[in-house]
Each structure stands twice: as C-alpha cells, then as structure tokens.
Chain A
Amino acid sequence: MKYAIEAKGLVKHFGDTKALQGVDLAARPGTVLGVLGPNGAGKTTAVRILATLLKADAGAAFVNGFDVCAHPEKVRQNIGLTGQYASVDEDLSGMQNLRLIGSLLDLTTSESKARAKELLEWFDLTEAADRPAKTYSGGMRRRLDLAASLVGRPSVIFLDEPTTGLDPAKREDMWDVVRKLVVDGSTVLLTTQYLEEADALADEITVIDHGRVIAHDTPLGLKRIVGGQTLSVQPTDPSRVSETTAILRRISGAEPKVLRAGVLAVAVNDNDALTETVARLASAGIGVTELSLHLPSLDEVFFTLTGHRVGTGLGIAAAERSRPQANGENS
C-alpha cells in the first residue's frame, strides 16, 4: 500500500455550489499532508468525504487501502477526526467525553478509563477532567477535541484547521502534538489557511482553491514557486525610508515595495539576507521599529499561483486570521 490517505478525482456539489471539482490527494504512511486553502476552497468537504461523513458525487477515496464507500466501517476503525465540526459534548466533562468514546470503541471500562487519564494528562487537562466541557477555554476545547479523536490510537488522523482561532503560543503547542503523532507512526492530513503552519508541519502540501488542486509540492518546492521569504523593515525615522530602500535593493537585487505606510518589503531567497540587512542598517545608523523575515501569506501564495487574490482582494485571509473564532468554511 503506497498511500495511507488517497483521494482520486473527488467531486461534490451542494445544489449549485461546486464544493469539489475533481480533487486528488495522497499521503504516504507516517507523513503529514498539508491541505492549504482559503475559506470555502473545499478543504472541509474533502476531509468529510475521507472520514466517511459524506459521500462524494464522483471519484474514489481510500484510507489505509480501504474504500470509504465500500468499507466505511473499516475506515472508521482506522481514523481519528478533529475539526471545527466534529465536536465533543459540552454538557459532559472531559473525562466523561473520553470514556464515552472509549466505550464506543469497544474498550473495556478499565481500558477506557486508563486511556482517558493518559490523554487528559498528555493534553494538560487533568485538573479540568471533571468539569463540563462548556466551562473550558477555547484552547482547552481544542485539546479535548483532539484527545477525543486519539482515544482509539488511530493510524490516520484528520485535523481540520486545528489551530484556527488559537493564539500563537497555543498554536505552537498544537504543532508539537502533531509532530509527536507522526513520530508515533500516524499519518496526518491537516487542513490550514496558513502557509506557515503547512511549512512547519507538512511533508507535502496540496493547495486547493474553488474545489480544485492548484499546486502540489514539498514545502520547499512550494516556497520556491511563490518566492521564498519576505523581509520587511520599518525605519523608526520615516525620513530615512529612501536610504533603507537603497540598502534593501542592494541586498536582494529586487525593488522593495511599500507594504504599509513606512514599511518596506522585499522578497529574499538568501538566508544571510537578514543578518546582512541588520549589519548595513546598523552601520548606516538607521533605527528600526520592525524587522522581520516571514513566509508569504496565503494571499500572496494565491496571487502567485493563480494571479488572483483570495476572496475579493480585500485580504480576507488576513481578516480571518485576526478574528478569534473564525467560522471556517460551511461547505
């Protein structure tokens, strides 16, 4: 078996909405496949089909070699699902939620209790174990959701936007969990709106938009296409913008653009660019209030790949990012 997760030509329409128009996905065992795309791209629909929650109109999907249509029960024995939708029961405590899932997975009473304790400890929920889940914070809810999908030690795990709405520190925690799952041998399909997240976790990235795959590559390959990293600088003294522009032009060999008022940005491929910039700015005596090296945003990735912006060009992806509990896609 070459792939732990495989989808071929998935098509799904909801009335007039074409959620998927022929999507191929593939993840080798023990790897992380990142599925990157904006709201409404079809990420959730693809995950729901792979997790047997939804039937595709056309195409085929396999998990650990089992056809999701022909053998859904076999697929369900192999998967764990965490998403904005596959939820825990808010009225039950963390412990009760995990033990319920243990019972439904045919663990004995003592096995399910032991597994629940182990997971609560791993996700730092032991103290909250007996409180109803509705009293949990957003981050705790996410951790309990994830713990619930791991009760049966699934070999294939679907994480649908696991960090949307989490603050950066909580996001890093979640990333550590995903890395540990892969070390333990699981295959993970992770959907996200952040290139940064896909880059940090995925072995391969599939970019989808409007229900179609528009790119599939390794993170390195994808970054090569979309232009590596962006260096942005904001001089403390606005009158020194032109001097800074000259420095950036010399280092990158490209023309810096104005990102926002007083902030300059330029694409760089060289890892030494940041240190060189710091050194040159220092010798010129230019103070900075912002200096950062970051991956292109989803918006920039899309612009490079498709020539159009996500949404209507108003930077919807950025708006979603700043909203604490983004709704995610409904399709």
Chain B
Amino acid sequence: MTITAEPMTLDTPVAASPAHRNRPFRLTRHSAALAKRALIKTMRTPEALIDVTIQPVIFLLLFVYVFGGAISGSQHDYLQYLLPGILGQTIAMGAVAIGTNLNSDIEKGVFDRFKSLPIGRIAPLVGSVLADVVRYALVTVMTIGFGYVLGFRIHTDPAAMVAGCLVAIAFALALSWVSVYIGMLVRTSGSAQGIMILIVLPLSFGSNVFVQANTLPGWMQAFVKVNPITHLVDTMRGLFLGGPVTSHLLWTVGWMIALVVVFAPLALRAYNRKV
C-alpha cells in the first residue's frame, strides 16, 4: 500500500498509487463511510440528536395533555388523531438538517478535503441521504414507540403501519431536495436552516396535523387542502387507523414527484457547481 519514494525519472505519468486499488462498489462504500460520519456527528451534536428523539416526545406530551381536552374532549382519542400528524411534522422538520449540514461542511472546508480525494463527487451527498434515512427511521420508531406508551394503538395491521412509515420517510427524502438546494444557494448554514424552517413551519401547522380542516376559515381550508403535509398525514391516518387511503396517497405521491422533478435537478446543478 505504500508509494513513498517512487523513483519518478520516467518521462511518463506516474501510475496511480497501489493504495487506490480498484475494489468494487467504490461509490457505495464511500457513501457508507460518509453516512457513518454524518451519524457520528448527529450523535455528537446534542441539538441534532434532540431533533430526532426528544422533540417528537415533547410535542406529543404538550399537544395531547395541553390541547387534547379542549380540541377533542378526550385525550386518548386525540392521541390517536394526533400521532400520525406529529410523525409527519417531525419527519418534515428532519429534512431541514441535510441542507444545513452540507452548507456547514462547505463553509468549514470539510468539503474541500473530500474534493481533493479520489472519490465520486456525488458520494458526500449520497452519504448524507443515507444517514438521513437512518435518522428518519429513528424518528419514526421514537414517535410510534412513545405514542404506544401514552396509549396510541395501530388499528390496522403491522404491514399497513410499516407502509405508512415508509411513505413518511419517502416524503421526507423528496423534501430533502428543497433543503439541499437552499443549502447550496445561501451563504451560511444558519440562513439555510432559517429559510427551511420558514417553509416547513407553515406547512406543518397550516395543515390537519393538530385539528380537522373543517374547523378552519375557508381561505385557510383551501391552503390546507393542497398542503402536502395534510395528505401525507391523512395517508398515515388511513394506514394506521383505517379509513380512506388511495386519494391521499395519490396526492402525496404527486407532491413527492413534483418536489423531486423540480428541486432535484436544481439542487444537483447547484451542488455540482459548489463541489
């Protein structure tokens, strides 16, 4: 594996170092190594870890016990209604991190180090996405697990529950492209985070996460009815508790396709320009 002191008297380029042997699946391995790095960082950064662990717990507790009685009359009934909503909200919030983290890597010069290495340009991005899948899975387990402790129950079957969770994770990944694009556009990681929260917060509160849409004023209902989070949450409600799924799922998938079609090319172009 060493190449030190290679005589370089030939008039031809020096061959690549034997250290960089052509082992297969290079992109996969590099992305996995970078995903591991992203996860170590999440575990080392308290606020990043809180986002995916404590936050859904606090939101569940607050909304079930502060508003549950007032909104629904029964805290137990409200929990059944609220939990898919909190999962949708938390996982959408989770998509804020990827753009913020990529921006901060570029800002701090970590990306320059990666760029000087013989790895695929796309590997750091793929690594971040892989790490996000793990984080989203963790959010899902935390939210449903703590929901169970409080009295939430799946009324359908495990397969439907898993399907509901997968839709939520897929939606967060689609939303990630917006986050990546903004992360590549703005100067600091702080502004990337600020802009993304400005997008995700109205989407998650201006939805049916906390209350039924028919309790809202008409103009607000119009917004709620096209809001992707509304349809994501209704899809999960259908899959967790029973009820109509198809139309909400179609809306959700439609939104996901729209997000990817519009923002993936923009994000990739901006990423390739920066990286």
Contacts and interface: CB of A to CB of B under 8 A. Distances in A.
A161 B115 CA distance: 19
Given A104-B33, A106-B26, A153-B2, A77 B118 contact: yes
Interface stretch (B15-23, B54-62, B224-232, B258-266): B15-23
Interface stretch (B38-46, B163-171, B191-199, B244-252): B38-46
B108 A87 contact: yes
Interface stretch (B5-13, B66-74, B179-187, B213-221): B5-13
Interface in A138-163: 148-149, 152-155
A74 B17 contact: no
A105 B116 CA distance: 11
Given A65-B12, A184-B5, A52 B41 contact: no
A213 to B, nearest CB: 24
B13 A66 contact: yes
B257 interface: no
Contacts of B4: 153, 155, 184-186
Nearest to B112: A86
A88 B113 contact: yes
Interface of A: 1-2, 4, 29-30, 48, 51-53, 64-66, 73-74, 76-81, 83-92, 96, 100-101, 103-107, 111, 115, 132, 148-149, 152-155, 184-186
Nearest to B45: A91
Given A1-B12, A91-B41, A152 B112 contact: no
Contact of B44 (A52, A91, A152): A91
B152 interface: no
Contacts of A78: 14, 16-17
User: What size tier do the contact residues of chain B reach?
Assistant: 35 or more
5 contacts: A1-B14, A64-B8, A88-B110, A100-B33, A103-B30
Contacts of B110: 87-89
B87 to A, nearest CB: 28
B1 interface: yes
Given A77-B20, A186-B4, 12 more contacts: A64-B13, A74-B13, A76-B116, A83-B109, A83-B112, A86-B116, A91-B40, A92-B37, A106-B21, A115-B1, A155-B4, A155-B14
B117 interface: yes
Nearest to A62: B13
Nearest to A158: B116
A155 B3 contact: yes
A107 B117 CA distance: 13
A105 B8 contact: no
Contacts of B16: 74, 77-78
Given A101-B117, A186-B4, A155 B17 contact: yes
B114 interface: yes
Contacts of B20: 77, 105-106, 152
A74 B118 CA distance: 8
B272 to A, nearest CB: 12
Contact of A148 (B21, B41, B113, B115): B113
Contacts of A105: 19-20, 117-118
A149 B37 CA distance: 18
B265 to A, nearest CB: 22
Nearest to B19: A152
A4 B12 CA distance: 11
A138 to B, nearest CB: 15
B227 to A, nearest CB: 35
A91 B12 CA distance: 42
B118 A155 contact: no
Interface in B22-39: 23, 26, 29-30, 33-34, 36-37
Given A51-B116, A107-B1, A111-B1, A65 B14 contact: yes
A76 B41 CA distance: 26
Contacts of B12: 1, 65
Contacts of B19: 105-107, 152-153
